[in-house]
Structure 1
Amino acid sequence: MTGLSALEPVSAVEVQAAGVTELEAIEVTGEGGSTNRIEPLVRNKVSTAPESLPAAVSTITDEDIRTLNVGRDISNIYRRVPGVVANNIDQGDTGNGFRMRGFATNGTHGADVAVYVDGVPQNIPSSQGGAGHGPVFMEWLTPQMIKRVDVIKGPVSALFGDQNRAGAVNIETLDGGDVASSIGLDIASYDGRRANLVLAGEHEGFESLFVADVYKTNGYRKAAETNRDNYFWKLSKVFDDAKYSARFSHYESDFKNDGYLNLPALRAGSISRRDTDNLYGFGNANRNTIVVNRAPAYDEAGLYYTGYYENFRRVRAISNGTFTHNYGKDDRDIYGGRVAYNFVYPEIASLMVGADVRRDKGDAFRQQYRNFEPTPNFYYDFDMDLITYGVFAQGQYKPFDSLKVLAGIRYDRFDYDIDNLKFRNADTGYHSSVTTPKLGLVWTPIEQLEIFTNAAEGFRSPAAEYISSGSSSALPPSQTGGQINSSVRPSKVT
């Protein structure tokens, strides 16, 4: 017969006699309330982080990016940011458009938004092989390279220069210790193939990240091919209190694009997806970049510097007639650097002062092609040496715990040497400057509430075709016909 009985307490003496070790009691304490605690907001803190600015700032992390189907168009990363319109300009690797709500770009894709990667400006001035003045070409980036993207709406930061009128996009690449090695393979319809390899590791303090990405597709249309190779290698290490990094990237692309179909005709069945009503467009690109960086390793105070060199070559041919193309080409060497020092008085004030310089030297032209062959006629033809110098200061001060004052100022100077190879009498130099102040306040009456306001100016440099102008019709080179507009000023927005 089975019975039930209460268990008797066991004394410590009996436990020891049984050869069992008694553990001391563990005391667990906790606080009431929700586990979803609201973290203190950071805009009122003294920091160089973009989130500390008195403006709308959106941050995309590498974890966010891993949840996205980016595909062939890197612009898909930015489409989740409210108020931002990002897109691939056209079929093929033709560049990326960035627009921010409330700012018109007048059709010059990518202009008016300053884009930086690891401190290196990405906007290309006076591009003829792209889409106007200041376009951005981000196809060399893949999701496996990106650690963080900060989208700053408005020209409120003095750390960004040319094209920072509607705002800025600041991108930081990954280090070898931030990611695991991987391999991926995608196979899709219309001969779509993509393979990527990530090799990441750390040895004796050195972090290494290598990314290879090969993408090919034959496209949905008759002539809609894209062949793209990306290679990226970054090495970084902390020495004493500073983190140093060096990276190299190589991007190469070749593409065709068949234009756009007439949707009513396609629905009516009078044409097929393989049809085209004009010449297909085409292009290619080759881009090699070397970047070195230094930044404080453990806090925000200290010395920052960036140095870079880039060989940039891009061709884009757009059909503009039954037999003709507008064939644009950039062949440029771009190099420069930035140095800054951040003085920090914790929780009270900070002041970052610095300077940057960029030199862009090479050819940029648009030529008329007929039946895929060059003609002697040019729309534009420039040999340029564009040097931009900038100095900046940006400070923050908290007179009270609930109030932060921000102020910044930039001074930028342009020294250009422009040879107009289409109109030789319009050869000219250009020398001008622009000053853009920034001012903002952040008031935090309680921990979960921030009220902020700002007034700021941003600028956009003038394009070469504004300074040395002439007829944009397709004409052969001449000694006359051009015009010099040396009084044109950088355009500002407040």
Structure 2
Amino acid sequence: MKNILIYITFLALGTYAYAQESNPKKVTDTIVSEEMLDEVIVTSASREIQKRSEVPGSISSLNAQTIKETKAFGIDQLVNQVAGVYMSTSRAASNEQHFMAVRSPISTKALFLYLEDGLQIRPTSVFNHNALLEMNDISYKRVEVLKGPASSIYGSESIGGSFNFITKNPTKELSGSVGFQTNDIGLMRYEFEVSDHTSDKLGFYLGGQHVLRQDGPIEHSDYEKTAITFKTVYDITDKTIWTTVLDLVDYRSDMTGSLSTEDYSNGNFESDQTFTERDAVAFRVRSTFNTQWNDNHKTTFNAIFRDNRMDQNPSYRIRQFRNQGQLTGFGSGEINSNQFRSYVGLIQHKMNINFANSSLIVGTTADYSPQKYVAETIDVIVDPETGRNTDFNINSGDFILYYDANIFNYAGFFQYEISPLDALKVTAALRYDGFEYDYDNLIESGAGVDDAVDNFNNLTPKLGINYNFNSRSGIYANYSQGFTPPQVSTLYRNRNELRGIKPSRYHNYEIGGYLASSSKIKVDAAIYLLEGENTLITLRDENDIFFNTNAGKTQSYGVEYGITWSPIKEISVTHNGSYAMHRYVEFFDGGVDYSDTDRETAPNLIGTSLITYRKDVNADLGFSFTAEHEMVGEYNTSFEGQVDNEDGTFDTATYDGHNIFNLRATIAYKGFELWGHALNVFDELYAARASFNRFRGENSFTIGNPRAFHMGMRYNF
């Protein structure tokens, strides 16, 4: 009840952070206008530019002005402003490693698609829930979030939501910036940008950052990251544009692991881990030709190459051995390496038809991604006095997995739009996907899974309707499907078990609306039902080992809403929130029926509220001040976990949720910007994610950010 009251109280507090992209000192322009629905353009729904009023789905865009004023040093600070989105990361310890929740519980599952300029940053079936650490957030001018399945255009894994990060274009004249950020929890970030047109036809953008984290509030939580983005845009003719984007990310981080209930409650943030880490190198290059043949025909050719490697000594695989409850001084773990290269081609053609303002998009794509994966066991040395894992030895040749897998995904799709009435638009889409996993077991001893070729295929439809009452208001409805084949490492790690892994399928039903009233207020709202079949979930067995299995049927339903109010030019107020239920409809595990129960790590309430005051003192000087409230409601940490009370009763293990308050201030003078953040102002102890440790019979906590003061400065030229 406390959380609900706070949630309602902050319904009228917020901002849609806004500042002019070309003029960083300008901070008071109004975001909501009478023609708001015509002004907002998006690309996430079809890889083509569209007005918001033409998209039959729940889509939000964080524009360049929002990004500039938020001054985020983590992607979560941006996307969590979108209604119904919770990117669960701990800036105290996780170092950009993250969970995600959109129309689903907080999880690591392949339910989210991460795109750059409308194209996947990773191949299907090699999903990693930490994939956003492989991106360079300084290079993005806009972020679009399309909620619900988008498999009819993008393919598999776009179930809960698709996150499209759109890169900055070259500027007409030489421009750029240099900046520095730091805080009192050990983080420093250096960044730069430069952009220009070297001729009338050729322009470039170069942006990079280097992040260093040392001696944070959580032990064993250092990390380093270097990210570079280089983009060129070449106008071959007035109708043909050649765009190339190159990304390089080099990342290494300690993996501190989670805290026990006792350590979390007592503020003991010493890590049990001393050697666990994650090391990743990601290289991507994308080349795109856009050709406008005439007023009615446009073709886009895309070629993509990816080269990724992620090495891990993961904390979540460490297991300590006990004898009658006492530590023996020994344990086990795993060291693994996942490498892949991708060769991708995508062709898309859009044709405008001279009938009822209709258009047709057709396309085909092929993605060939050879993957190599090796996982070996390690022996862990444990200090029995402190419980810390102090050292390890690799059992060379003792393979858990060692394989090559050639992954081939081919697809064809179309999307047809028609407006039989000026106010009405109907959208129909269909996509066929085929998947082939050619698995070659490289373990010479004969252990593991036999060589295999596995094939999956799926036909994914979508149907949507938009009806716009005028240029400021409208409603929409859609039915869409989503599909996720098994991840390669999951499929072959689990094949010899009785719990065979099956593809997951989803059905989404949604109704929503949007309103921009005069220049004061903007409202978006959606009601949805997402039904899953063979939903993949992760459990922990009686030996404290994680395994994957399918839940027969799941169901998520709820409401998402966003309200922005600008009572006067200098003040804006925003609240974005969601209320949802996530349930197991049919689920049996170990002979126990868990059907009709709430799913774990699935908060009902999620919300962000902001209120901002902006002021332009004169042509050279401006400032803004923002107060922000982040809220996550109570949730079960396990569907089967029980806590034994002193009176002999049992309760389901839960996390109480949290309320976090942040303050942000920015001042801009000519080309200079200076800003400061006070994060978690009241120093609330909270968890970025809490889960039930079945082996210990208690909750484990990924600690959230303590009170921290963050500052930054930038010079724009």
TM bin (shorter chain)? 0.7 to 0.9
Asked if residue 357 in structure 1 is aligned to residue 366 in structure 2, the reply is yes
Asked if residue 333 in structure 1 is aligned to residue 378 in structure 2, the reply is no
Change (3 A) 1:108 1:221: closer
* Structure 1 contact 468–483 (Cα < 8 Å) conserved: no
* Structure 1 contact 316–329 (Cα < 8 Å) conserved: yes
* Structure 2 contact 206–230 (Cα < 8 Å) conserved: yes
Aligned with residue 202 of structure 2, among 200, 206, 209: 206
Aligned with residue 59 of structure 2, among 48, 57, 60: 57
Change (3 A) 1:364 1:295: same
Change (3 A) 1:125 1:302: closer
Change (3 A) 1:302 1:157: farther
> Whole-Å Cα distance in 1 between the matches of residues 420 and 499 of structure 2?
51
* Structure 2 contact 481–506 (Cα < 8 Å) conserved: yes
More strand by share: 2
Aligned with residue 403 of structure 1, among 405, 424, 429: 424
Identical amino acids, percent of aligned pairs: 18
Q: Shift in Å at residue 304 of structure 1?
A: 0.9
Match of 1:426, SS state, is: coil
* Structure 1 contact 65–143 (Cα < 8 Å) conserved: no
Match of 2:80, SS state, is: helix
Which amino acid letter does the alignment assign opposite residue 180 of structure 2? Answer: L
Asked if residue 242 in structure 1 is aligned to residue 240 in structure 2, the reply is yes
* Structure 2 contact 156–485 (Cα < 8 Å) conserved: yes
Aligned with residue 391 of structure 1, among 375, 388, 412: 412
> Whole-Å Cα distance in 2 between the matches of residues 464 and 289 of structure 1?
21
Change (3 A) 1:169 1:265: closer
Quick check: 418-427 or 358-367, which moved more? 418-427
* 2:138 alignment counterpart: 144
Instruction: Note the aligned Cα RMSD (angstroms).
Output: 3.2
Q: Shift in Å at residue 278 of structure 1?
A: 4.1
* 2:285 alignment counterpart: 290
Change (3 A) 1:307 1:326: same
Quick check: 452-461 or 159-168, which moved more? 159-168
Q: Shift in Å at residue 123 of structure 1?
A: 4.1
Match of 2:133, SS state, is: coil
Match of 2:158, SS state, is: coil
Taking the TM superposition and a 5 Å limit, the aligned residue runs for 1:129-278 are: 133-156=127-150, 158-177=152-171, 180-189=175-184, 191-204=186-199, 205-218=201-214, 219-240=216-237, 241-262=239-260, 265=263, 268=266, 271=268, 273=269, 275-278=270-273
Gaps of 5+ in 2: 1-29, 321-330, 380-390, 508-717
> Whole-Å Cα distance in 1 between the matches of residues 125 and 154 of structure 2?
19
* 1:434 alignment counterpart: 458
Asked if residue 443 in structure 1 is aligned to residue 452 in structure 2, the reply is no
Describe the superposition over 1:118-145 as per-residue Cα deviations: whole angstroms up to 9, x where unpaired. 2331245555xxxxx5535122333320
* 2:75 alignment counterpart: 74
Q: Shift in Å at residue 180 of structure 1?
A: 3.4
> Whole-Å Cα distance in 2 between the matches of residues 306 and 491 of structure 1?
28
* 2:392 alignment counterpart: 372
Describe the superposition over 1:238-274 as per-residue Cα deviations: whole angstroms up to 9, x where unpaired. 22212211122211122213334457547657x4x4x
What TM-score, normalized by structure 1, do the two folds share?
0.79
> Whole-Å Cα distance in 1 between the matches of residues 393 and 412 of structure 2?
46
Quick check: 75-84 or 294-303, which moved more? 294-303
Match of 2:77, SS state, is: helix
Match of 1:138, SS state, is: helix
Q: Shift in Å at residue 330 of structure 1?
A: 0.8
Asked if residue 311 in structure 1 is aligned to residue 307 in structure 2, the reply is yes
* 1:324 alignment counterpart: 332
Q: Shift in Å at residue 379 of structure 1?
A: 3.5
Match of 1:176, SS state, is: coil
Match of 1:80, SS state, is: coil
* 2:115 alignment counterpart: 116
Q: Does 1 or 2 have the higher relative contact order (CA < 8 Å, sep 6+)?
A: 2
Match of 1:108, SS state, is: coil
Which amino acid letter does the alignment assign opposite residue 452 of structure 1? Answer: Y
* Structure 1 contact 176–201 (Cα < 8 Å) conserved: yes
Change (3 A) 1:236 1:263: same
Q: Shift in Å at residue 450 of structure 1?
A: 1.3
Which amino acid letter does the alignment assign opposite residue 420 of structure 2? Answer: P
Alignment coverage as a number of residue pairs: 438
Match of 1:70, SS state, is: coil
Which amino acid letter does the alignment assign opposite residue 231 of structure 1? Answer: I
Quick check: 166-175 or 384-393, which moved more? 166-175
* Structure 2 contact 418–426 (Cα < 8 Å) conserved: yes
> Whole-Å Cα distance in 2 between the matches of residues 437 and 213 of structure 1?
41
Q: Shift in Å at residue 285 of structure 1?
A: 1.1
* 2:672 alignment counterpart: none
* Structure 1 contact 55–156 (Cα < 8 Å) conserved: no
Which amino acid letter does the alignment assign opposite residue 121 of structure 1? Answer: Q
* Structure 1 contact 426–468 (Cα < 8 Å) conserved: no
* Structure 2 contact 138–209 (Cα < 8 Å) conserved: no
Which amino acid letter does the alignment assign opposite residue 225 of structure 2? Answer: R
* Structure 1 contact 395–406 (Cα < 8 Å) conserved: yes
* Structure 2 contact 58–147 (Cα < 8 Å) conserved: yes
Describe the superposition over 1:409-446 as per-residue Cα deviations: whole angstroms up to 9, x where unpaired. 00000122012345455210012311001111112244
Match of 2:66, SS state, is: helix
Quick check: 384-393 or 167-176, which moved more? 167-176
> Whole-Å Cα distance in 2 between the matches of residues 332 and 257 of structure 1?
23
Change (3 A) 1:280 1:260: farther
* 2:546 alignment counterpart: none
> Whole-Å Cα distance in 2 between the matches of residues 201 and 35 of structure 1?
28
* Structure 1 contact 134–163 (Cα < 8 Å) conserved: no
Change (3 A) 1:467 1:324: closer
Change (3 A) 1:37 1:225: closer
Q: Shift in Å at residue 336 of structure 1?
A: 0.5
Aligned with residue 97 of structure 1, among 96, 99, 120: 99
Change (3 A) 1:208 1:448: closer
* Structure 1 contact 44–404 (Cα < 8 Å) conserved: no
Q: Shift in Å at residue 464 of structure 1?
A: 2.4
Describe the superposition over 1:89-118 as per-residue Cα deviations: whole angstroms up to 9, x where unpaired. 8945564433212x347x334x21222112
Change (3 A) 1:384 1:286: same
Q: Shift in Å at residue 367 of structure 1?
A: 2.7
> Whole-Å Cα distance in 2 between the matches of residues 313 and 44 of structure 1?
35
Q: Shift in Å at residue 147 of structure 1?
A: 1.8
Match of 1:81, SS state, is: coil
Match of 1:144, SS state, is: helix
> Whole-Å Cα distance in 2 between the matches of residues 206 and 99 of structure 1?
40
Q: Shift in Å at residue 325 of structure 1?
A: 3.0
Which amino acid letter does the alignment assign opposite residue 142 of structure 1? Answer: N
Gaps of 5+ in 1: 1-33, 128-132, 472-480
Change (3 A) 1:324 1:467: closer
Match of 2:314, SS state, is: strand
What TM-score, normalized by structure 2, do the two folds share?
0.56
Match of 2:154, SS state, is: coil
